Structures are given as structure tokens and as C-alpha cells.
Structure 1
Amino acid sequence: MTVSAVSAEENFADPLNRESRFYSNVVNVPIRDLTPFAAAPRTAEDADHVRALAESAIAPPPIVVHRATSQVVDGLHRLRAAQLRGEKTIAAVYFDGDVKEAYVLAVKLNATHGLPLTLADRKAAAREILSLYPEWSDRRIAGVAGLSPKTVAAIRRRSDGEFPRSTGRLASNGVLYRSNEQARRRAAELFEADPDASAREVALAAGVSVTTAKDVRKRLRDGEEPVSRKGSKPARGAAIGTAGRRADPAYVLDRMRRDPALRFTESGRAVLRWLEVPFGGADLRTVVDKIPSHCAPGLAEVARQRSRDWDQLAELLDHCT
């Protein structure tokens, strides 16, 4: 039974689990049909290890074969031992991913069991994975290659500019952690789109920590930029419009609709609703001409009351500091 391949973004925690979506059941494969993996992370075969396997009375685990190419992703020494014993078939499981996924799997398996990869091979493998998946985090690549995250970070720094630039780091849990500025701006967009969203929800969607998401939310509520600028101060004190002259009402209203200090408070959102331009900028005389005459006196009184309310609000706003 063959099972379809899955994304290489998933963990290879139990690579030989029969229930894994990466593998078929164990089958006997003709040895003559198999070839070494063209992109094998191991630079040299170990003849002594092959002889030890050939002389062992313990049945070895099945090898892993890339179905599309019939190449041995894991178990080349076991294959050589079987050839040395004169066997015609070997137990194997088929891997159904693409070549890049097969390479990552080969590194993971060869770094964690059997004859481990040398340090030089593991570093070379980490560098190759960086070229294939530059968005992967240092910790994730380290887990595959059997290195420390610091070692992978050093390899990334030395290779800076050689690999495609990534917009972030993809962790083993599937979360894409973006660069600090980009991630904070993405979190700000999410909060602006849904002011009631939880910090945890935004953190997961934006690829930031919950603490960072909370900080972005606080900055927005305080009228600050989501990304701090050294030497700069919040733009909260900057007035919309210019003192001593009238600003365009449509421009002012548009600016206020975008202001987080208004968007993220109940009172601010209420004011924004009140300030929406009445009649959508229509000609008032045309509107009045279509109002039934018996409704005019009542509407006129309501309009005057609203006018007094707005005059009072304007006077209070003039005295705000």
C-alpha cells in the first residue's frame, strides 16, 4: 500500500513508522534495480562497516528508496552488505516525496542512526539545506543535520548573500517567524483588521511571540508605530491639520479612521461613526426637495439640536491638550 507524500515542512520524528504518510509498507526490492542516492550527504562509503553488516546475524532495518528514481535515500551500507552476501533482493520502504524532501530525509536519517555522518558531512548538509529551504530556522536545520543551532547560524552568516533571501524563519512547528519589523507590521495589520483579536491569535498568524503581539497592540492603542524607531517619539502629539487654517474635512476624517488611538477604543470608534460625512457629500438642496413637507419641521429641529451638539463637541475639543 503506497501513501501519498507530504510537505517537507513536517517533522521526520519517526521516519520508519509504517503509518507515516511518507512511506509504503515494507517490500522486497530487486537489488539490481537500485542505485545510490545522487545527492547523498555522505561523501564516502565505509568498507569496514559494510563487512561488519554482512557478517552480522541480526536482520537490518529496511532501507529507504526514493520511488521516483529508485535511488537509496538511506541504507547504502546495508545494500552493499546484501550485495556482498550475494542476495538478490532487499527489504525496503518507498519514499514518495520529491528530491528536495528526499535529501532532507537522507540527512536526518544518516545523522541519527547507523553510521553517523562526519562533522564535515553534517556541516555540508546544513549548508545544502539552507540553499533548499532558506526560510527554515537555524534550530530546525540543526535538528535535521545533527548540529547545534549556533553552528547553523554561523554557516548562514558565512553564506550571507549566496542563498535567496528569506522573509522569515520557518520553525519545526510550521510557524513562519518573520523579520522583526515585518512581523510587527503584519501584527499591526491584523489588529487593525480585527481590534478584538487575541494576542495569541495574532502572534500565530504574524509569526511573532505573544509578548511581541501584546506590545504591538499596546503601541497601537497608544498611537505609536508598531516598530520602535531609535531617537523618535510617538506621533501621538502631532495634530491632524495645521493650526490657524482649516484642513480638508475629508482628509482629516480619513486620517482619523486610520489612527489606532481611535480605532482601538470604544469611544474612539463611536466618534468615528459620528464623524462620517452626512449624505455622502450629496447636494443638500436636492435632498431637502425630496423630503415630505410634513416631516420638514421635525427634521429641522433635530438638525439644530445636532448642530448644537457638534458646536459643544468642537468647543471641548478646542480646549483639549
Structure 2
Amino acid sequence: MPPHSIANLIHLDLDDLPVSAVRIDSVRFGDPFRLSGESPEHVRVLAAVGARLPPILVHRASMRVIDGRHRLRAAMLRGQDTIEARLVDCPEAEVFLLGVQENIAHGLPLSLRDRQAAAARVLVSCPHMSDRAVAVSCGLSASGVAAVRRRIPAGPPRPSARIGRDGRVRPVDAAAGRVRASELIAAHPDASLREIAALAGISPVTVRDVRQRLNRGEDPVPAARQSDRPVQGPVVEAVSGRVRDRGGAGVAGSRDPQGILRTLKNDPSLRFTENGRLLLRWLDSHVAQPTEWTRLLAGIPPHSAITLAELAKACAATWQELGQHLERNQSTG
């Protein structure tokens, strides 16, 4: 799959696509994303919902379902002849990646094994995607994707550069980019991090690290990478395109609570059931953002600080216990 094609695909604004009624017998089921297959219980829940379900996503050329497999089953269970759908025009090879992104963003969550299997398939078909870009698409951490990449059997030579979350191409080994960045910083000390990053083919974060190393009198390339340091490396040309983060990707350690809550609110089995709405309302009032409690810190009297700290830790422990309980249920379900 061409690099520019991936950047354009992930940048698609699917919510702006028109909705049309398509005959159910014209729609094909695409590749499943769940190793355990479909969930009959989830299908029954959706079929019992009286409200209108969100449109499914269908690849126009093949009429394969990209997102909405359970909604399609529910419509069939209801005896419908048609279903609302958004038709997507994209190359056949990109259907799976788009489907993974959409399944991560909402609906019935994919298990860890499902997401790892999806990441492995994406890495085989798109080896030039960076770990972070795959992480956003498949709901894993970048380190988790790197571990999946290492487990993939050796195949064709792996590319020397990868596409990042911002759609730019960067070398797998950033030593050459670090050397180039150090030269650019010396020649243009007033240039911004982004300007240096664009010219050196590395991220602004890496440029900041190089600048800090130079200020401390250290080598711009860490000792662990010295053996791979080239005498002179080429600058990787940036390409246009921007990776879209739809706010549903379950990247461990990087998702804000409000983003996770938005994902849950997009789940029809929660939005359109009484228990689901009660859960969402409860979560809405109990999920705290750092920006909220930081504003309240100034008003806390000193004598209450310790008591409040104990309460915060107790609540955190309760949330941790709930999270572990749900993970155990998911792994044994």
C-alpha cells in the first residue's frame, strides 16, 4: 500500500459521507476483527433497541461491511430489507485498516488479543507504518505494537523509514537524523524545533533532545545508538498527509478520560438502553479531568489537604479494583 494512500485514508472524514438505504441482501460481511467471532448477545441487544441505530460503513466497490457487522446482523434479525449505510470509496487493500480504526473508535470493544492480531495484520500489509501510527489505529500502545512487530516472522526486507502519526516519513534509525539536526542547530540556532524537524526528517521531540544534549556538551546520538551511527545520512523528505485520531483509539497510557467517555457514548448498546444511559450519566459525573481539580486546589484549606488526599487515594484504589475486575472478566469471557 503506498504511503500517501495510508495518510489519505486515515484523514477521511467519514461522518461527512452521505447516508443511504441499501438492500441487506446486497451487503457482504467483511473479515471479522474478533478472534472469537460475533457476539450473539450483542446482536440481540441491538435488535431489541427501539431507536434507530447509527449507519453502518460499507466499501462501495465490494459492498463489504467495514464497520457495523453486529448492526447488520441485528437488522437481519429484525426482518429488515434495507439498512442505512455510508459508502466509502477506497482501495481494497485499505478496507481492513479502516475497519480496525472504526471498530476501535466505538461499539463492542475488541479484546487485547483481537487488537494484537489486527496490529500484526496491519504490520504485514503496511510495514512502513510507524509503531505509533499502528497504535492509534489498533488501540494499543506504541511499545505493544513494537512487541507485535518483533514477533512477526522474517519476510521481505523491512523499510528503512516509516510513516508517523503526523503522516511524515522518518527513518527507523534516527541516528542520521540526529546528526543532521545537530548540524542544522549549529548553523541556525534560532530555528524552531518544527523547522529543524522538517529538514532533518525526525520529530520535534527528538530535535528537542538533540538540542538539550548539545547544550550539555553531549553527543547528539545516544551511546546505545553509536554503533549504527552513519558518517553522513540522507535527509528523509516529508510527505503531505495527516493521520486522523478519531478519539477512540485505545492507546494505553495516552487516552484522556473524556476521550474514553466519548467512545462509550458512541456505543449503541449503551446509548439506546436504559441501563446503558444510567451508566453513561453516572460516568459523566464521576470522570475527573486534571484541568478540573487543578482549579480547585487553590481553595482547599491546609488542614483538609491530608483528608482529601486520603479520599482521592481511596477513590483511585476503587477505580483500579473495578478496572482489574473488568479486565479479568474480559480475559475469561
Instruction: Give the TM-score, by structure 2 length.
Output: 0.55
Inter-CA distance 31–138: structure 2 relative to 1 (3 Å threshold): same
Deviations 1:71-115 (A, max 9, x none): 011111111111111111110001111123221111111123111
Quote the offset at 1:61 in angstroms: 0.5
Superposition deviation, residue 36 in structure 1 = 0.8
1:95 to 77, 88, 96: 88
Structure 2 Cα separation of the partners of residues 101 and 11 of structure 1: 7
Q: Which has the higher contact order (CA 8 A, sep 6+)?
A: 2
Instruction: Please name the residue that 1:130 is paired with.
Output: 123
Contact 2:21 2:83 survives alignment (8 Å) = yes
In structure 2, what is the equivalent of residue 83 of structure 1? Answer: 76
Alignment counterpart, residue 157 of structure 1, candidates 150, 153, 157: 150
Residue in structure 1 matching 2:49, options 56, 76, 80: 56
Decide whether aligned partners of structure 1 residues 40 and 183 sit closer, same or farther in structure 2, where only a CA change above 3 A counts: farther
CA distance in 1: counterparts of 2:196 and 2:220, whole angstroms: 13
Match of 2:15 in 1: 17
Q: 1:83 to 1:229 in 2, by over 3 A?
A: closer
Equivalent in 125, 129, 132 of residue 139 of structure 1: 132
Please give the secondary structure, in 1, of the residue aligned with 2:15: coil
Q: 1:41 aligned to 25, 33, 43, which one?
A: 33
Determine if contact 2:163/2:170 at 8 Å carries over to the other structure. Answer: yes
Name the SS for the 1:59 alignment partner: coil
Letter in 2 for 1:167: S
Question: CA–CA distance in 1 between the matches of 2:222 and 2:84?
Answer: 59
Greater Cα radius of gyration, structure 1 or 2:
1
> What letter matches 1:203 in structure 2?
A
- The 1:228/1:25 distance shift into structure 2, 3 A limit, reads closer
Is 1:7 paired with 2:5?
Answer: yes
**CA drift at 1:8:** 2.3
The letter for the 1-side match of 2:119 is: A
- Residue 202 of structure 1 is matched in structure 2 by 196
Residue by residue over 1:39-66, the C-alpha shift from the partner in whole angstroms, topping out at 9 and shown as x without a partner, is 3323311112112111110211000000
Q: Any unmatched runs of 5+ in structure 1?
A: 1-5, 19-23, 233-257, 259-321
CA gap of 1:29–1:11, structure 2 versus 1, over 3 A, is: closer
Q: After TM superposition, list the pairs within 5 Å mapping 1:306-317 onto structure 2.
A: none
CA contact (8 A) 1:184 1:216 kept: no
* Code of the aligned partner of 1:202: I
Give distance in 1, aligned partners of 2:11 and 2:49. Answer: 27
With over 3 angstroms needed to count, the CA separation of the structure-2 counterparts of 1:122 and 1:229, relative to structure 1, is closer
Matched letter for residue 15 of structure 2? N
Q: 1:61 to 1:109 in 2, by over 3 A?
A: same
SS at match of 1:122: helix
CA distance in 2, matches of 1:205, 1:58: 53
User: Root-mean-square deviation (CA), in Å?
Assistant: 3.5
5 Å-filtered alignment, 1:182-201, equals 182-184=176-178, 187=181, 191=184, 198=191, 200=193, 201=195
Q: Which amino acid aligns with 1:42?
A: R
The number of residue pairs the alignment matches comes to 216
Contact 1:199 1:214 in 2 (8 A): no
* 1:211 is aligned to 2:204: no
Identify the residue that residue 280 of structure 2 maps to in structure 1.
none
| Structure 2 residue 24 is the aligned partner of structure 1 residue 31 | yes
Amino acid in the other structure paired with 2:72:
L
Report the 3-state secondary structure (helix = DSSP H, G, I; strand = E; otherwise coil) of the residue aligned with 1:92: strand
- The unaligned stretches of length 5 or more in structure 2 are 227-231, 233-333
Letter in 2 for 1:17: D
Q: Deviations over 1:212-269 (max 9, x none)?
A: 6658999xxx9xx986889x9xxxxxxxxxxxxxxxxxxxxxxxxx9xxxxxxxxxxx
Contact 1:108 1:144 in 2 (8 A): yes
Identity %: 37
Counterpart for residue 176 of structure 1: 169
Give secondary structure in 1 for the equivalent of 2:6. coil
- Cα 1:140–1:229 change in 2 (3 A) is closer
Q: In structure 2, what is the Cα distance between the partners aligned to 1:164 and 1:26? A: 42
What residue in structure 1 maps to residue 302 of structure 2?
none
Maintained 8 Å contact 2:9/2:98: no
